[in-house]
Amino acid sequence: MTCEDGTQKWACHSRCPLNADVPALDFQRVVETLDRHDVQYLVVGGMAARGHGASRPTLDFDLVADRSKGNMERLAGALRELGARFRVEGLSDYEMLALHAPSIDAIVLLNADTLTFNTDAGPVDVLSGLVTRDGAILSFADLLPGAVSITVDQTAVRVAALADVIEAKTKANRPKDIEALPELDSLLPDRDTP
């Protein structure tokens, strides 16, 4: 899908006319804000897949953060700086604001497995971990040993291991994840070749 200026929706200007009340993802701004707040996190999901060489575009920034109270306080501060507001499918930002959702703080972040936000730098999803095929949850501490530092969209970040991303997408079993799996499997460096 492209915007009226011909750029991809996920890569265009900050106010994409295809999704007028939600800015397109500004990956660099999200990373810079998280880093400035000294948040300990790993990029997961579509952006991690892109960092490992996948070509599929993504519209949001998924992260798994260290769940210590101090880190959650820093994450909450970064989200507030980004103008984060809760995102619920089917509701506009305006409708969500009318619901008077709780403020974003460490307690809210610690008491949820998954929170989705719209921010002034695009959609950001905060996950407590990645769910595996057998239902286990891989936390930040579980994912950290396999994480790699790579460059995504000219920005250096730590991303979850490709095998962990594939495991989570397999478990999610959504159409977009199923479509992404063949390419992701082909990027595994130690995959068996027939």
Residue 194 structure tokens: 């027939």
CATH architecture of the domain 17-175 equals 2-Layer Sandwich (3.30)
Distance in angstroms (rounded) separating the CA atoms of residues 52 and 33: 23
Distance in angstroms (rounded) separating the CA atoms of residues 126 and 71: 13
152: nearest Cα among 40, 23, 28: 28
**pTM of the complete model:** 0.82
Q: What is the pLDDT of residue 18?
A: 36
Q: To which residue do tokens 């971990």 refer?
A: 129
Residues 72-128: tens digit of each pLDDT: 999 999 999 999 989 887 777 667 666 666 789 999 999 999 999 999 999 999 999
Strand, coil or helix: 116: strand
Helix orientation angle between 27-36 and 69-81, rounded to the nearest 10 degrees: 130
